[in-house]
């Protein structure tokens, strides 16, 4: 005969097993779409604001056609046109280069992007259904060391894009 105590013990044991079997990483990052780019306020010409959308499912890279200076208090909303397929391999690995520590940072500015006309980088991912976005200083002395490899990569790859 099953007693209430044994039933409770059995339910407790199953619950403990299920909770210990769960993945400890509760962060779900959508690496399908990544927005990235650079911006400069004291600048002239078409290259002052360059924002791109990388879609890994479609294996497509698109460029924003608006070229509006991004506002630090909201994510960037662009209008994108697909680039030739030859540009996709230049940036296809960017989602894998985003350090996990970045997701501990609040949305907004890291460092003082473009405060002294040095420009900044824009980065946006979707995490647990929410848009996460950062405006990152180009001066490595103003940002955490964990961002240095990503900033170096963006510095070398964005100029290779149209």
Q: What is the pLDDT of residues 19-52, one digit of tens each?
A: 333 344 444 566 678 999 999 998 877 789 999 9
Domain boundaries, the chain: 28-160
In this prediction the pTM is 0.80
Say which CATH topology domain 28-160 has: Mago nashi protein (3.30.1560)
Q: Residue 126: what pLDDT?
A: 84
Q: Is the pLDDT of residue 86 over 90?
A: yes
**Which residues, other chains included, contact 38 with Cβ-Cβ below 8 Å and sequence gap of 6+?**
49, 50, 119, 120, 121, 122, 138, 154, 158
């Amino acid at each position: 005969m099953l007693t209430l105590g044994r039933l409770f013990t059995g339910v407790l044991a199953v619950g403990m097993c299920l909770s210990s079997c769960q993945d400890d990483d509760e962060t779900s990052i959508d690496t399908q779409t990544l927005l990235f780019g650079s911006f400069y306020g004291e600048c002239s010409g078409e290259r002052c604001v360059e924002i791109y959308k990388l879609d890994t499912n479609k294996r497509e890279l698109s460029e924003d056609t608006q070229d509006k200076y991004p506002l630090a208090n909201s994510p960037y909303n662009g209008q994108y046109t697909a680039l030739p397929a030859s540009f996709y391999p230049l940036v296809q690995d960017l989602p894998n280069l985003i350090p996990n520590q970045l997701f501990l940072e609040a949305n907004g500015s890291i460092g003082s992007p473009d405060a002294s006309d040095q420009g900044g980088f824009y980065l946006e991912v979707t995490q647990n259904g929410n848009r996460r976005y950062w405006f990152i200083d180009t001066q490595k002395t103003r940002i955490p060391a964990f961002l240095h490899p990503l900033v170096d990569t963006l510095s070398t790859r964005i100029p290779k894009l149209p």
